[in-house]
Chain A
Amino acid sequence: MRDLPQQSDPNLIAGAEGYEDAGVYKLSNDIALVQTLDFFTPIVDDAYTFGKIAVTNALSDVYAMGGRPLTAMNIVCFPATKMDLSILNRVLAGGLDKLQEAEVTLVGGHSVEDPELKYGLSVTGLIHPDKVVFNRGCVPGDRLILTKPLGTGIISTAIKAGMAGEKAIARAVYSMTALNKKAAELMLEVGVHACTDVTGFGLLGHACEMIEGTEAAIIIDSSAVPYIPEAREMADMGLVPGGTTRNRCFREVMVDMEPGLHIFVSDILFDPQTSGGLLISLPAEKAGELLDRLHQEGIVDAAIIGRVEAGPAGRIRVH
């Protein structure tokens, strides 16, 4: 999109120019639209579970902006000549069940014939124009909270390799199908400075987006970062997704890793996530309260993983 001319519109609150998770368009002084779209190929073998993951992932961008998703439309690519239609029905059933859990209404969709199954959604939500939570806005002194464990990229790779154990798959599926709805509601109640959801660029990639071009720096305490335990053994066996290396190459100029850290720290912090958790920056005095409330709501992997400092500008230090 960067080669296209930029449009300007006085009502556009968040558009394609930044790294925001969703577009936000002001309709009136009280209401703005939040719009997002995401679709991808299956990352688990079970069709129904894939549908649930795709919906959880698509809704997440609205939650990360502080919005309330209202309606969704299915996007389907399907190889009708070589795959049984019942598989698609299971995908869509999983998606609809997750939409109902989120209290989002499915209003339609579109399908095309394609050599490979793909599923996702376009989601529309609402937000108050003055209450949008951007991914920029970290303030020195803030604490960073991550609400889900990392490692879904490594485990997805292990699934593709046929080398993932049942426990690892169950943990990854649990995480990828857990809506960010409650975490976002609590974040809005407590009050935060910035938020994004952790997806394909990995934790460090998305953390870079929060401070790139600003005066702030981020310190990550790698020992505090939650991850799915089985991911470590799988990374040691070489089941690291290709995306990890791309993420590292793209962002390593902004990141200082403390010498002597195990290679797994880099693997997990750059691991591309599907339907990852929220990465929230908020005042230190509120961090304990939000963390307690997340834990009380069953979001037990949530942890304070780092802090924001006044500089050096745009740098991330991992220790």
Chain B
Amino acid sequence: MIEIDVRGLSCPIPVVRTKQAMDQNPKEDISVLLDFEVAVENVTRLAQSRGYKVVRTDTDDGYELSLRL
């Protein structure tokens, strides 16, 4: 599982960082830490368009998206 933290970054950077992680680790699951809803929606859409299963967990200080192949 690859972990990336895009908290504090504004759109479209969370999508860009997540895509980079996907491109560099095409066979790995990815966990993404985010801190605002629009980024959660956008990263979810990126992941779904690339065939990942997305599991969302709301945490104390934001959100974690688990992107599973």
Interfacial residues, chain A to chain B (CB-CB below 8 A) = 157-158, 160-163, 235-242, 245
The answer to whether B10 touches A238, judged by C-beta atoms less than 8 angstroms apart, is no
- Known interface pairs A236-B49, A240-B42, A241-B11; 18 further A-B residue pairs with C-beta atoms within 8 A, sorted by A's residue number: A157-B11, A157-B12, A158-B12, A162-B16, A163-B19, A235-B45, A237-B19, A237-B46, A238-B12, A238-B41, A238-B42, A238-B46, A239-B12, A239-B15, A240-B38, A242-B11, A245-B37, A245-B41
The answer to whether A161 touches B15, judged by C-beta atoms less than 8 angstroms apart, is yes
Shortest Cβ distance from B42 into A: residue:
A238
Shortest Cβ distance from A245 into B: residue:
B38
Contact with A along B43-59 (1 / 0, CB 8 A): 11110010000000000
Q: A52 to B42, alpha carbons, bound, how many Å?
A: 30
Q: A238 to B41, alpha carbons, bound, how many Å?
A: 7
Q: A160 to B12, alpha carbons, bound, how many Å?
A: 7
The answer to whether A161 touches B49, judged by C-beta atoms less than 8 angstroms apart, is no
**Minimum distance in angstroms from B28 CB to a CB of chain A:** 19
Provide 15 A-B residue pairs closer than 8 Å at the C-beta atoms, listed in order of the A residue: A157-B11, A160-B12, A161-B12, A161-B13, A236-B45, A237-B15, A238-B12, A238-B42, A238-B44, A238-B45, A238-B46, A238-B49, A239-B42, A242-B11, A245-B37
Interfacial residues, chain B to chain A (CB-CB below 8 A) = 10-13, 15-16, 19, 37-38, 41-46, 49
**Minimum distance in angstroms from B45 CB to a CB of chain A:** 4
- List chain A residues, Cβ under 8 A from B16: 161-163
- Selected contact of B41 from candidates A158, A161, A237, A240, CB within 8 Å: A240
Q: A130 to B12, alpha carbons, bound, how many Å?
A: 46
The answer to whether B49 touches A237, judged by C-beta atoms less than 8 angstroms apart, is yes
- List chain B residues, Cβ under 8 A from A245: 37-38, 41
Shortest Cβ distance from A160 into B: residue:
B12
Q: A80 to B12, alpha carbons, bound, how many Å?
A: 27
Shortest Cβ distance from A161 into B: residue:
B12
Q: A102 to B13, alpha carbons, bound, how many Å?
A: 37
- List chain A residues, Cβ under 8 A from B49: 236-238
Q: A316 to B19, alpha carbons, bound, how many Å?
A: 36
Q: A158 to B15, alpha carbons, bound, how many Å?
A: 10
Q: A238 to B44, alpha carbons, bound, how many Å?
A: 7
- List chain B residues, Cβ under 8 A from A162: 16
**Minimum distance in angstroms from A224 CB to a CB of chain B:** 25
**Minimum distance in angstroms from B46 CB to a CB of chain A:** 4
**Minimum distance in angstroms from A162 CB to a CB of chain B:** 7
Shortest Cβ distance from A263 into B: residue:
B45
- List chain B residues, Cβ under 8 A from A237: 15, 19, 45-46, 49
